[in-house]
Every structure is written in C-alpha cells, then in structure tokens.
C-alpha cells in the first residue's frame, strides 16, 4: 500500500513550500483547498448558495467567486465560516475520493501528501498514515502574509485570528516541523523527514499514526457534548 501523509498547519507556516520540496522528490500531491475551490465553481450548486448567503459582491469580474472578498467576510468569524462550510457541501467526501484513488492507483512504494489547513479538525487524518504539522511564530506568519499576499497588518491579523495554535494540534500529529529559520534549513528538514519516514515504511517500522487515537477521543467528546 502507498504511504499517505496528511500535511496540516496554519496559514503561512510553509505547508505549500514543504509540499513543493516533496513533489520534486517524486511525491504525489493534492491541495485540499483547490478541491474545495472547484466545488463552488460557476454552475456548481455551492456557487448559488454562497451568493445567496454572502451577496453578489463575492463574485469577481471573471464570474468566479472572489476568494479574497469571500475571505474578508468569514476569516476570524466562526459563525460566518460555518455558514460557508455548509454552503460548499460535503468537503470530506471530496477529499476522501482523492485519497481512495491514490490507494488504488499508487504502487506499494508510492508516497502522496494531502495538504489542508484544517486537516486535523476536519477528520481527513483518519484516511492518512502519517500527520505532519508545520508551525511558526505568529510574527513570522504575519510578515510572510504581508510580503507574500500584500496584506495590510490588519488583513494579516484577521487571517491569523482564525487559526488554531500549533500546540493544540500537536497531540494529533506524528511530526511537528517548525519553520522560523532560512528556506534552506526548512527544505533540509523536510527532506530529512521524508527520507526517514520512507525508510521506516520500507522496513515495516512505521508506527500507527497518533492521529487515530486523537480522532477517536475527539469524536467521543463531541458526541458527549451533543447529548
């Protein structure tokens, strides 16, 4: 069976950079955000639902949902984010379909990574063999957002306000990789982690992911809270 790694972490922690490094080493990749974006393309049921909830101003000049405008309406606003999630539809099923395809098409030595900000909380980790969490200091993330996305400090803080501290996600993760140093140091850390987990997988020494126990407890707590 192929090795499936779930990549988690808040915004601007280096998830995409890490994935690019692994892609160059022959790893298959899927960005869950892009899967979600295709779910509300024009003509899809979610497109109309989003406009109905958030207004016609979320549609850009190209006819697609303008994610920057939509983001300004939901980031840092849990209730609005929940409305968006419900409007989009069954995101988990779409992500699982990608992983199921990898399971059926990649060979025994294949490796694939699924990248998602909320991979841990959304339950996607239950279909993965490893969970890697990327983290950095908030000041580092803020500066990256301002440099990379041309956000103002206020816009960057709004995005960061919607993120969970990495320490809350660490118990569900098999590796925590910090990214506050140089790009070269980060790339070396990712390469070393991938080489190590490939060796463990090939030798049969790979341990079951910590995520499964965490997810079981999370589901139990959620169930008790609903009673």
Task: Tell whether 207 is covered by a domain.
Answer: yes
Task: Tell whether 82 is covered by a domain.
Answer: no
Residue percentage of the chain with pLDDT more than 70: 99
Domain count, the chain: 1
The mean pLDDT of 190-207, rounded to a whole number, is: 95
Return the closest-CA partner of residue 159 out of 117, 115, 114, 116: 117
Task: Tell whether 48 is covered by a domain.
Answer: no
Q: How many residues does the chain have?
A: 227
Write the burial class of residue 148 (CB in 10 Å: 0-12 exposed, 13-18 middle, 19+ buried): exposed
Task: Tell whether 146 is covered by a domain.
Answer: yes
Alpha carbon distance 58, 51 (integer Å)? 7
Give per-residue pLDDT as tens, 17-30. 999 999 999 999 99
Tell me which residue range forms the domain holding 120.
Answer: 3-35+97-226
Judge whether residue 134 has pLDDT over 90.
yes
Task: Tell whether 201 is covered by a domain.
Answer: yes
Out of 145-159, 162-176, 213-227, least confident range: 213-227
Three-class SS of 23-91: HCCCCEEEEHHHHHHHHCCCCCHHHHHHHHHHCHHHECCCCCECHHHHHHHHCCCHHHHHHHHHHHCCH
Task: Tell whether 43 is covered by a domain.
Answer: no
- Whichever domain contains 155, its CATH number is 3.40.50.300
b/e per residue, 105-139, with b = 16+ CB within 10 A? Answer: ebeeebbbbbbbbbbbbbbbbbbbbbbbbbbbeee
Return the closest-CA partner of residue 35 out of 82, 99, 80: 99
Torsion of CA 134, 129, 98, 96, to 10 degrees: -100
Give the single-character DSSP code of 109: T
Judge whether residue 227 has pLDDT over 70.
no
Alpha carbon distance 179, 27 (integer Å)? 21
Out of 80-89, 109-118, 181-190, 215-224, least confident range: 215-224
> What pTM, to 2 d.p., does this model score?
0.88
């Amino acid at each position: 069976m192929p090795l499936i790694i779930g990549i988690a972490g808040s915004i601007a922690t280096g998830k995409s950079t890490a994935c690019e490094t692994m892609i160059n080493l022959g790893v298959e990749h899927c960005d869950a955000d892009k899967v979600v974006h295709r779910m509300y393309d024009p003509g899809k049921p979610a497109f109309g639902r989003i406009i109905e909830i958030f207004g016609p101003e979320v549609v850009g000049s190209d006819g697609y949902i303008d994610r920057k405008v939509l983001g300004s309406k939901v980031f840092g606003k849990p209730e609005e984010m929940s409305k968006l999630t419900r409007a989009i539809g069954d995101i988990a099923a779409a992500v699982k379909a990608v992983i199921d395809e990898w399971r059926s098409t990649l060979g025994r030595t294949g490796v694939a990574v699924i990248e998602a900000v909320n991979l841990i909380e959304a339950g996607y980790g239950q279909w993965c063999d490893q969970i890697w969490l990327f983290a950095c200091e908030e000041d580092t993330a803020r500066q990256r957002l301002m440099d990379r996305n041309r956000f103002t400090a206020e816009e960057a803080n709004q995005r960061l306000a919607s993120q969970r501290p990495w320490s809350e996600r660490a118990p569900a993760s098999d590796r925590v990789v910090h990214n506050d140093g140089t790009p070269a140091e980060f790339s070396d850390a990712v390469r070393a982690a991938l080489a190590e987990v490939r060796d463990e997988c090939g030798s049969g020494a790979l341990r079951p992911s910590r995520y499964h126990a965490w997810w079981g407890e999370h589901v139990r707590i959620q169930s008790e809270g609903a009673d």
